[in-house]
Amino acid sequence: MSVNIPVTNKISPFLVFYLIHTMQVGVGMLGFQRIIATYAGTDGWISVLLTGVILHILMWMMYKMLAIVDGDIVTVHNYIIGKKATKIVCIPIILYFCLFAISVLRTYIEIIQVWMFQELETFWFALIYLLLVIYIIYGGFRTIVGIAFFSIVLPIYILVLFLFTVPFADFSNLLPIFDHSIGDILKGSRNMTFTVLGFESILLFYPFIKNPKKSHKYAHLAILFTTIVYLYICILTFSYFSENQLQKNTWPTLTMWKIIRLPFVERFEYIGIASWFLLILPIIAISIWGTSRIIKQVYSIRQRRSVLVISLLCLIGICIPTTRSEINMVTDLTAKIGFYFCYIYVPILFVATLIKKKVKKS
Amino acid sequence: MKSIETILIMAIFTLFLSGCVEKEILDDINLIDGIGFDYVDGKKIRGTIVFPIFIKDKPPENRVLTGESLLKKEILQDIQLQAADPIVTGSMEVVLFSKELATKSGITELMDPFQRDPGVGSGIYLAVVEGETKELFEGKYGVRGNSTHISDIIDENIRNEDLPKTNLQIFLADFYSEGKSPFMPIIKKKSKDVVELTGVSFFNKGKLVETISSDKMFFFKLLVDKYSEGLHRVKIEEGEAAIRSIRSVHHYKLIKKNPMEVEVTIDVQGIINEFNGDKMYPNLERKLNKQFEKEINQECLALVKNFQEKNIDPIGFGHFVKTQIRGFDYKKWHESLYKDLVVKVKSNVEVTEAGVIQ
């Protein structure tokens, strides 16, 4: 059953930390505060913590499940329902990862169009971006991991720059704590899905980890780190904006950068948005690579070819939505599918794997 | 071989991509750093923009252009007809509103483009002008251009003097907050080359409803800013002293809920800058402290009373009470609770040093 990957293609366990964290932190980070505040208000930071806890549980489930079958999501399906059924069941998963790449890249292009260059052509930018992504994927999985590593290490200074908002922040905005019902806080947590999606990519690259059992703690560390980063930004946002003002801003994180003024640069957003180029690069790369990997396993099509086709599909997908509301629809759809995939389908798979294991033993 | 091909293809596309967006060269644009709005009649407003023109070895000259219109962007269009280069808002420093405009038609609609435009920073200063903004911009102040000079004045007064912290972000946060009303500094053209900060103006739903003069600003700052500095003159029998508060902290406390009662404690630590009496002695210092405390209590309370009468809340009592009570209802607050709120001010002044002479 298990998948054989040559040792030279495998990665060290600690790199899982970078992979999972990089997949989670993307364009969602630029605007998630408003979305969680619509329900949970300034108690939104509790939603962030709650999401963190749920993610830990899901991550534990996925590791358990993958350890049993010793493979990736295709192996899991093969294990439970057999090879033939897998061929059909995997289609939605392939589409989901494509959609994920599309919504991330389209949102990023939209941000460039709104904040920097109104005239930027979606098609040309997406084309160049995807060519770069294809180039990275052709370098092999280890190259992708390298990009993931740098996409975290290089822009990490941005976290410090958020402190520029502190002189204008009123931390009493966060009071009173628990002003909203548990239901509202849960809704806020649910609204945060798009922001934290990406951790499920472990289902794709698990077989590529050398000594996967050792990597388990790094995966949890990654989720912990993501939660801390989001919590930090959330608390600063809620104290910087008043509640109604926050609702007016589509990308609160970017609006917060407007206050930053350094002697050598008048507007920091330009540097920040440019840094995001690097930040989302591994997200797109891993999504497309993962999709092609599933296709290879299920339908035995060479990855080099399928990557091209998937990229083309993504390019078309990126060019279709043009207005804010259309783009919002795409991200909402991704969030919804992601929510059902991670929060409902994955636990079902987990339970099914456990049952199957029991059945096989007896 | 393959990788070389990829690199080549990518290089070619980079060439295409650089042609995709419009270039903006610094010398070929009008980088406006100030904009002002004046009242014309019920419908129309007049906009004035100012941008510096840099000349070698000389301070920058101010170029002033005006246009009349209904919308801010239309004003820019109108002005564009008079300008040789495109007008760009990327390095805005100040936005001014004439007092007439702020009182009569309000500024709500004018605020929208400054939030919507990604090029405008959140740290710019807003101010109300006594008189016309056009006239103010036509003067010549400082060596770094008019707008920079005005923003420097406001900046300096926030950092070391009596003006509470303010900028576009703080104004907007208060503007949208249900428990706080926004304020702006007031400036005035004193002569051809002097601009002066004359006080603070208060807004209710985008309209200017109340102003205070600069001598009351010290007390307002004590109430609004958590930590503040400033200078105040205290008069006693033996003479007059200028006390600079070097560190002051305020604390709010909700002591009763029905009817609501808020206690404000203000701790001021100051030094004596100037004293025109005969001699300083410890007893005198205590006397100064007492007198200063009395004045703080009186003036602060008077400010609060005035705000309550005018139904504005620039100090943010609504916001404060909300942080203390779960399930707080702003509707009720605005209807009656704020008017009936009892505020008590307590202050502790401690003059620590009296300079280098006795």
Mean pLDDT: which of A203-212, B3-12, B74-83 is highest? Answer: A203-212
Phi/psi at B186 (5° precision): -110, 135
Measured distance CA(A78)–CA(A83) in Å, rounded = 5
Residues 6+ apart with CB under 8 A from A70: A1, A2, A3, A207
Task: Provide, as residue numbers in chain B, all residues whose Cβ is less than 8 Å from the Cβ of A138.
Answer: 2-3, 6
DSSP B81: T
Interface check for B324 against chain A (CB to CB < 8 A): the answer is yes
Identify any residues that bridge with B232 across adjacent strands, giving them in sequence order.
Answer: B243
Question: Nearest-5° angle of CA B352, CA B354, CA B356?
Answer: 125
Last residue of a domain, one of B156, B180, B213: B213
User: Are B93 and B195 part of one and the same domain?
Assistant: yes
Amino acid of residue B272 = I
| Chain B: closest CA distance from residue A219 (Å) | 33
Helix, strand and coil content of chain B, in percent to the nearest 5, comes to 35, 35, 30
Q: Residue B17 falls within a domain, yes or no?
A: no
Q: What is the mean pLDDT of chain B?
A: 83
- State the complex-level ipTM: 0.84
Residue B199 near residue B213, CB atoms below 8 Å: yes
* B169–A244 C-beta distance less than 8 A: no
pTM: 0.88
Classify strands B94-98 and B34-39 as parallel, antiparallel or unpaired. parallel
Task: Provide, as residue numbers in chain A, all residues whose Cβ is less than 8 Å from the Cβ of B330.
Answer: none
CA neighbor of B118 nearest in space, from A278, A243, A257: A257
Interface check for B206 against chain A (CB to CB < 8 A): the answer is no
Domain span at B343:
226-358
pLDDT digits (tens, 9 = 90+) for B28-74: 777 888 888 888 887 788 888 888 887 777 777 777 877 777 665 67
Beta strands in A163-259 (DSSP E): none
Phi/psi at B271 (5° precision): -130, 150
Residues 6+ apart with CB under 8 A from B252: B262, B263, B264, B320
Task: Provide, as residue numbers in chain B, all residues whose Cβ is less than 8 Å from the Cβ of A172.
Answer: 319-320, 323
Q: Cis omega before residue A176 (within 30°)?
A: yes
Identify any residues that bridge with A283 across adjacent strands, giving them in sequence order.
Answer: none
First to last CA, chain A: 19
Identify the three-state secondary structure at position B1: coil
CA neighbor of B183 nearest in space, from B37, B339, B312, B45: B312
For A209, the token pair is 């980890």
* B90–A176 C-beta distance less than 8 A: no
CB-defined contacts A:B, below 8 A = 101
Residue B304 near residue B354, CB atoms below 8 Å: no
Residue B28 near residue B45, CB atoms below 8 Å: no
Q: What is the per-residue pLDDT for A2?
A: 47
Longest CA pairwise span in chain B (Å): 94
- In this prediction, residue B83 has a pLDDT band, given cuts at 50, 70 and 90, of confident
Classify strands B125-130 and B94-98 as parallel, antiparallel or unpaired. parallel
Interface with A, mutate which of B323, B329, B330 (most A CBs under 10 A): B323
B-chain residue closest to A138, CA distance: B3
Last residue of a domain, one of B213, B236, B264: B213
Count of domains in chain B?
Answer: 2
Q: What is the per-residue pLDDT for A60?
A: 93
* B20–A125 C-beta distance less than 8 A: yes
Q: Residue B283 falls within a domain, yes or no?
A: yes
H-assigned helices in B56-96: 72-80
- In this prediction, residue B336 has a pLDDT band, given cuts at 50, 70 and 90, of confident
In chain A, where the domains are located: 7-361
Give percent above pLDDT 70 in chain B: 94
Q: What is the per-residue pLDDT for A72?
A: 87
- Residue ranges of chain A with per-residue pLDDT less than 70: 1-3
Q: Residue B179 falls within a domain, yes or no?
A: yes
Task: Provide, as residue numbers in chain B, all residues whose Cβ is less than 8 Å from the Cβ of A255.
Answer: 122
User: Are B264 and B207 part of one and the same domain?
Assistant: no
> Residues B250, B252, B253, B257: what is their CA dihedral angle, to the nearest 10 degrees?
160
Interface check for B327 against chain A (CB to CB < 8 A): the answer is yes
| Chain B: closest CA distance from residue A252 (Å) | 12
Measured distance CA(B192)–CA(B204) in Å, rounded = 33
Amino acid of residue A255 = T
Residue with tokens 């402190």: A163
Classify strands B342-353 and B260-275 as parallel, antiparallel or unpaired. parallel
User: Are B200 and B266 part of one and the same domain?
Assistant: no
Q: What is the mean pLDDT of chain A?
A: 89
Residues 6+ apart with CB under 8 A from B239: B275, B276, B277, B278
Last residue of a domain, one of B213, B240, B264: B213
pLDDT digits (tens, 9 = 90+) for B305-326: 999 988 899 998 888 888 888 8
Measured distance CA(A313)–CA(A301) in Å, rounded = 16
Identify the three-state secondary structure at position A268: coil
User: Are B192 and B119 part of one and the same domain?
Assistant: yes
Q: What angle do the packed helices A122-138 and A303-319 form, to 10 degrees?
A: 160
Question: Nearest-5° angle of CA B240, CA B246, CA B249?
Answer: 110
**Numbered residues of chain A with Cβ closer than 8 Å to any chain B Cβ:** 114-121, 124-125, 127-128, 131-132, 134-135, 138, 167-168, 170, 172-173, 175-176, 178-179, 240-245, 248-249, 254-255, 258-259, 261, 266-267, 269
User: Are B180 and B135 part of one and the same domain?
Assistant: yes
Closest partner CB to B21 (pick from A119, A240, A255): A119
DSSP B333: I
User: Are B111 and B254 part of one and the same domain?
Assistant: no
Interface with A, mutate which of B10, B24, B177 (most A CBs under 10 A): B177
CATH number of A7-361: 1.20.1740.10
Closest partner CB to B122 (pick from A121, A134, A259): A259
Q: Which CATH number covers residue B238?
A: 3.30.300.210
User: Are B180 and B52 part of one and the same domain?
Assistant: yes
Interface check for B170 against chain A (CB to CB < 8 A): the answer is yes
A-chain residue closest to B9, CA distance: A131
Q: Residue B152 falls within a domain, yes or no?
A: yes
- In this prediction, residue B17 has a pLDDT band, given cuts at 50, 70 and 90, of low
DSSP A342: I
Interface check for B173 against chain A (CB to CB < 8 A): the answer is yes
In the structure, how many helices (H) and strands (E) does chain A have?
Answer: 18, 0
Interface check for B2 against chain A (CB to CB < 8 A): the answer is yes
* B178–A241 C-beta distance less than 8 A: no
* B322–A176 C-beta distance less than 8 A: yes
Residue with tokens 């806020």: A188
Interface check for B10 against chain A (CB to CB < 8 A): the answer is yes
Identify the three-state secondary structure at position A345: helix
